[in-house]
Amino acid sequence: MPIRDALRTSVLSTKWRYSWRSMPKLAFMEDMVEVLSSLPLMRKYKLIRAIFHVLFLHNGPTILKLRFPSHEFLMAFECDLIIGYLSRGNSVKKLKLITDKTYQLPASFFTLQGLETILLTNGVLELPLTFNGFSRLRKTVFVHVKVSAQMLQRFFSKCPLLEYIVLIGDEQGIDSAAGGSKFTFVDLLRYVPLIKGLEVTEDYVKCLSAGGMPHKLPASLAHLKYLFLEVCLMEHN
C-alpha cells in the first residue's frame, strides 16, 4: 500500500490510528506529493517534509526505498539528514537508494549495522577510516557506483557474510574503480567464501581480470549457484 494511503487509515478508528507505524517497508518516490509541475521547489519542500513526518512517527522500517530520478530531486543534504536519522535506530535491513545523479554517501551510512541488502545507483563510495564493515550484509548491488579499487577491496574484505554481489558499471566509472592499484577476481573471491550469486558486467570484468585470470580459484566456492560474467567476444583480449 502506498504510504499516503496507509497514513489515511489512521482516521478509520482509534484501533487503526497507529497501525501504519508498523509498516515494515517504506518507499519514498518523487511523485508521492501533488504539486503543479511549474513549482519544482515547492514539490521538493513538500516531499522532504512528508518523508521526515513519516520517519519521525514510524517505529522504524526494515526496508527503505528512496527513489529520486529527476535531477531537481538530487537532495544531497536532505539525503544525508535522512540517512543520519536512520543510523540512530539501526532498524533498516534493506536499503535502496536510486538517483539519476551522483551522490556521495555520508559517513553515517556506514554505521547502519543492521543492513542485510544494499542497492545503490550513481553513488560515490568513500569508506571512512572508522569503517569496520557490515557484519550482517548478504547482498550488494552497485550500479554505476564510483569507487576506487582500494575502497572496493576494503569494502568486500569487511563483509564476511556476502552471498550475492552485482556489479554494473560503465567505462567512465570503471576508470575510477581501477584507480592506482589493482583489485582482481582472485582478491574478490578470497573475501566471499559464502558467495551464492555473482553478476559482473563487461567493464567490471575488464577491471577485475587485469593481469590475467587465475588458473586456480583461491576458494572452493562450494555455495556458488549463479554466475554471470559479461564479456565482449569482439575484443582481442
User: Average pLDDT for residues 205-232, to the nearest whole number?
Assistant: 84
Whether the predicted pLDDT of 174 surpasses 90: no
In order of 76, 82, 98, 147, 207, the CA distances from 167 in angstroms are 23, 25, 15, 11, 11
Q: Per-residue pLDDT tens for 102-112?
A: 888 899 999 99
Q: What pLDDT is recorded for position 211?
A: 66
Q: Per-residue pLDDT tens for 115-142?
A: 999 999 988 889 999 999 999 999 999 9
Q: Per-residue pLDDT tens for 160-170?
A: 999 999 999 86
Cell matching residue 67 = 527513489
In order of 33, 92, 103, the CA distances from 44 in angstroms are 9, 24, 17
Q: Closest by alpha carbon to 66, among 127, 107, 109?
A: 109
Q: What pLDDT is recorded for position 34?
A: 65
Neighbours of 100 (CB within 10 A): 15
User: Average pLDDT for residues 13-21, to the nearest whole number?
Assistant: 82
pLDDT, the chain, mean = 83
**Which pLDDT band, with edges at 50, 70 and 90, does 46 fall under?**
confident
User: With contact defined as beta carbons under 8 Å apart, do 203 and 235 qualify?
Assistant: no
Q: Per-residue pLDDT tens for 53-90?
A: 888 888 888 888 888 755 555 567 788 888 888 888 77
Choose the CATH number for 21-229 among 3.30.360, 3.80.10, 3.40.50, 3.30.43.
3.80.10
Measured CA to CA, the distance from residue 74 to residue 103 in angstroms comes to: 8
188 versus 30: which is more confidently predicted? 188
User: Average pLDDT for residues 222-231, to the nearest whole number?
Assistant: 93
Measured CA to CA, the distance from residue 130 to residue 152 in angstroms comes to: 16
Q: Closest by alpha carbon to 137, among 112, 109, 162, 120?
A: 162
Q: E strand or H helix at 158, and its extent?
A: none
Beta bridge partners, 153, equal none
108 versus 173: which is more confidently predicted? 108
End-to-end Cα distance, the chain:
50
